[in-house]
Structure 1
Amino acid sequence: MLRGIGILLVVSGHASSGSSMNVFAPYSFHMPLFFFISGLFFSDSKVDGVLPTVIKNTKSLLLYSTAFYMFYACVCWVITRLGFTAFAQPFSLELIFLNQFTTSGAYSFTATYWFIPCLFFVKLYFSLIHARLVSLINSRREGLISISFLAAYMVIAFAAVVYSVEMYEKTGVQLDKIIYFRFAFALFFFYLGSIVAKYNVQRFLSNVFVLAVLYIVQQQLWVSAGNLDFWMQISKYQATYLPVISSVLAIAFFYGLSDIAAKNKSFCVVLGYIGKNSLPIVLHHIFGFFLINALLCAFGVIKPSDVINLFYQFDTVHTWPLYIIGAVLFSLIFDRYAVQPVMNTFKNMDLLSALKRPQ
């Protein structure tokens, strides 16, 4: 359910509409939230093998995103010839295989894919390096070790923000650096999720009084700072301390809120289903925005030349709910009725091949 809330906020943020909240604006926490959620399922008490870990995460993350990089490269080639010239981009193997590790927006509809390789490297780090460090220490003071690592990763996160701010003050975005900056920033939130799950910290967050305090603190932070937004994609932060603090506060607030909402069966069904399918929504919701614009073009409301970028919306003030709902529904339908059947076909082929092998 927390993931369902998070992905709806991601789509809302990308819809560039008035639907975002001033206090818990999506761009003040939503990507750290997803690293946090991934960390909830990590335990450093188990040391995984190197090759199995790399293969597992490559198959579940990188192969999936790269396949859709190729798909949307073809889509951009087609729609450019239909008059949507803003999406023109050469079909390049370099862009398909390497761009997702930097800005990820080469083919417009893949702009959100940067998160996937970043998560890939974060998961590899914790499975292959962090878990081994913990096993080497082998101390009975488990709590002290957890606190020490959490403090270390927090310092690394703050350092990443400091150097990112310094980078923009001097030269602007440098693609060879942002990969390391956002990786360093993500480490803390992934491990924070692991600690919360390990010590069952969430039991303190579903109290209405606690949520009210978190809300008031975030409100005061927003008022004093004036702006809490940051772009983790390109490591663009507005201050050296706000991104970490605003993310932690918002994660705690929405974790507690999701725990309360989980007591309602209707919320469980809807947000649970959306949360389980958050990856397809990440992959396809921006193309969902475009399809709405394509329909508007077909009905003569706008022209293809009016669609100037991937986030273009017609009459944003009045139509933002249409773009959010349409993008989510398209992502879910496309994945269920187009992507999943293809994947099941390949899985069945692998199973048949395995059965035919001589024992």
Structure 2
Amino acid sequence: MKKKRLTWVDVTKGFLMILVVIGHYPGELDFPLAKYIYWFHMPAFFILSGLFFKPVFEKGLMKPTIHKRFMQLIVPYLFFLVSITLIRYGMEIGSGNRELSWYLNDLWTLAVGGRFIRGAYGVFWFVTTLFFTYLFFLWLTKKFNRKKQFVILAIFYIIAHFESIFAMHVIGGKPSEAAQSIPMIWNIDVALMAIVYFAIGYYLKDFWMGISKRWMAAAFTVSVTAVLLDSFKVIDYRLSMKFLRYDHFLLDLVIPLSFTILLVGAFQFITARLSLSWLRKIEQHSLSIMYLHIFADIILNDYFTYGLIGFTAIGLFVPIIVSILINKLLPHGKLLLGGFSPKKKSEPIPT
């Protein structure tokens, strides 16, 4: 049962990672594919992350639990951040950029992170947000009973929407620029929204483990209706967690959940019949794909011309190759790719 469960989770995450790559395609498409991908792919990642959350109640286990999560998320984050930055700076120096103020300003932006770093670092916000979402939820489940947890989550959800209203309608302008008008290191404030999706994965664990046909049908109906209403301009729904754009208090739950239910249910059905090992392989290298797919395009698009398919292929295969090389050639390569596992304390042999 456990093996089957992990199979569909890995396959779903692998497919979502492909959507992440497609969502960053810089070219124009006739169909607003990226818009619909953004409706659900990031919430789905947080939901699936919450699915396997384990609360910690013992005092002595809190510190090692946080340390483990730090090693799995923040160490690879810093590794890829520094690696990409060194290559970028090498390219800048090679092109003749010797302006010290440019490098100092860039380093400050990289330190702040989150929505303030763009270009090659476009998805780095997700990891820091996930880390703080995990910490917040760890604190929530340890300090409060279930009823108080729900109340606090509701307050977080409301605060997140008020922040979005302030950014999108009071500050106004482009969402990316409006969000950057609100100072925040590492997109910690986005955790106020992310923790709600994370909690849905955790609290509804039994539901996610086996999506029924009835729920699949309902999710399909809601998802198709939302796309049709959007295509006929009855609604203009958008969701951008990175840039604090939460357009609708109700739809920000309904639409991401319906698409995630549909996706998870579909892969539970398919993986019961097919292995889809290629999607599992993608999931195994998802960290490198996330960090490197945009940077791979930045380096290669000066030498090659390609459309969406070529962009997606480069965004998947180049990071996978780099991931394999890191694991095989660099000391502690597995650790740098998020493969940290704490050493189990050996128990004394009874005499």
Q: How does 1:15-30 map to 2 (within 5 A)?
A: 15-17=25-27, 18=29, 25-30=36-41
3-state SS, counterpart of residue 31 of structure 1: helix
1:294 offset after TM fit, Å? 3.5
Whether contact under 8 Å (2:293, 2:316) holds in the other structure is yes
User: In the TM superposition, what are the counterparts of 1:193-232 in structure 2 within 5 Å?
Assistant: 193-200=201-208, 202-204=210-212, 209-222=217-230, 223=232, 225-232=234-241
- Please give the secondary structure, in 1, of the residue aligned with 2:120: coil
List gaps (5 residues or longer) in structure 1: 138-144, 297-313, 348-353, 355-359
> Is the counterpart of residue 90 in structure 1 residue 99 in structure 2?
no
Question: Which region of structure 1 is more displaced relative to structure 2, 210-219 or 16-25?
Answer: 16-25
How far apart are 1:94 and its partner, in Å? 3.5
Q: CA RMSD in A?
A: 3.2
What is the aligned counterpart of 2:127 among 109, 116, 123? 116
SS in 1 for 2:303: helix
What is the aligned partner in structure 1 of residue 296 from structure 2? Answer: 288
> More deviation in 281-290 or 331-340?
331-340
Q: Which residue of 2 aligns with 1:11?
A: 21
Change (3 A) 1:345 1:189: closer
Matched residue, 1:242: 251
Cα deviation digits, residues 295-353 of structure 1 (max 9, x gap): 22xxxxxxxxxxxxxxxxx57xxx11100111110111101113553144697xxxxxx
Change (3 A) 1:79 1:206: farther
Q: By how many angstroms is 1:15 displaced?
A: 0.8
In the alignment, does 2:183 pair up with 1:176?
yes
Give the whole-Å Cα distance in 2 for the aligned partners of 1:45 and 1:74. Answer: 38
Q: How many aligned residue pairs are there?
A: 311
Deviation per residue, 1:209-253 (Å, 9 max, x gap)? 345324334335535654333221121234444333221121111
CA distance in 2, matches of 1:321, 1:19: 15
Q: Distance in 1 between matches of 2:30 and 2:313?
A: 12
Give the match for residue 3 of structure 2: none
Q: Does 1:72 align with 2:79?
A: no
User: Which residue does 2:64 correspond to in 1?
Assistant: 52
Q: Structure 2 vs 1, CA of residues 227 and 213 (structure 1 numbering), >3 Å: closer, same or farther?
A: same
What CA distance in whole angstroms lies between the structure 2 residues aligned with 1:37 and 1:341?
A: 31
TM-score for the superposition, normalised by structure 2: 0.76
Partner of 2:329: 341
Q: Counterparts of 1:270 and 1:338 in 2: how far apart (Å)?
A: 20
The residue aligned with 2:280 is 272
Offset of residue 284 of structure 1 = 0.7
Alpha-carbon contact 1:292-1:323 (below 8 Å) kept? no
Q: Could you tell me how far apart the structure 1 residues matched to 2:34 and 2:333 are?
A: 46
Distance in 2, matches of 1:346 and 1:43, equals 23
Match of 1:326 among 302, 314, 317: 314
Task: Give secondary structure in 1 for the equivalent of 2:20.
Answer: helix
Distance 1:266 1:50 in 2: 37
Counterpart CA distance in 2 for 1:339 and 1:100 is: 26
